[in-house]
Amino acid sequence: MAIGILIIGDEILSGRREDKHLAKSIELLGARGMRLSWARLCGDDQPMLIQTLRECFATGDVFFSFGGIGATPDDHTRQAVAAARGVELALHPEAEAEIRARFGAETTPGRLEMGRLPADARIVPNPYNRIPGFAVGQAAAGQGSIGQATAGQAYFLPGFPVMAWPMMEWALDTELAHLHHADDHAEASVWVFDAQESQLTPLMHALQDEFGVVIFSLPSTLVPGGRRQIELGAKGPRASVDVAMTALREGVAALGFTVEEIRG
């Protein structure tokens, strides 16, 4: 099952804040043998966000969304998720309990607004300050346990990394634990020196056709007076990548170019 992320906020698009969720999501997924398939950015325009969410749900993928779940006028994620799914917002009893436990006698209607979630949502616990995120798309009764991801399953988390990242880990290690290391996917590459991509392209096509993997090349910017350098590799099923990389090394050497292993 593919995994995606949606990053929300005008502050990212304007450059006032620098996104950190993309790199961290790749790290957290990779540590569990999972990989990111897509990423999207969207501003705080509510109609655009509703349309973006509809498109994300339509993929049938699991995805994580960061930002916009608060109660200020520029936070539209909760409302947009409800609109995209055709449900109403309602004060979630577990979210209300968490907010009241956090603020006690200082609980206000404004703070409780953060607990108004799409009617089909469940909460995602927030270990930092107890203001929960939420998730939609839980497995239906009779179709598997709570640890079974379903099409369009999504997790909506705060924009603040100190909150969002532990909440993402919670989701990965509970409801999505069955996806750990479930994807038969590997990626390997080597450095090729002194070649141009056009000289390697026929070999790349031949290897891709023969082994059923994706052959990729990532040229480095040529420094004046420096040596031409290309990262050449394969990605796909592990066993196929192993044999393809052996053939790749042999093929590059046969063309007369230097191959070196990538260290670190």
List domains and CATH numbers for the chain: 3-179 (3.40.980.10), 186-261 (3.30.70.260)
Q: How far apart are CA 259 and CA 261, in angstroms?
A: 7
pLDDT in tens, 188-219: 999 999 999 999 999 999 999 999 999 999 99
Q: Which of 147, 182, 234 is closest to 29 using CA atoms?
A: 182
Q: What is the mean pLDDT of the chain?
A: 92
Q: Which of 164, 83, 64, 77 is closest to 114 using CA atoms?
A: 77
pLDDT in tens, 68-107: 999 999 999 999 999 999 999 999 999 999 999 999 999 9
pLDDT in tens, 23-39: 999 999 999 999 999 99
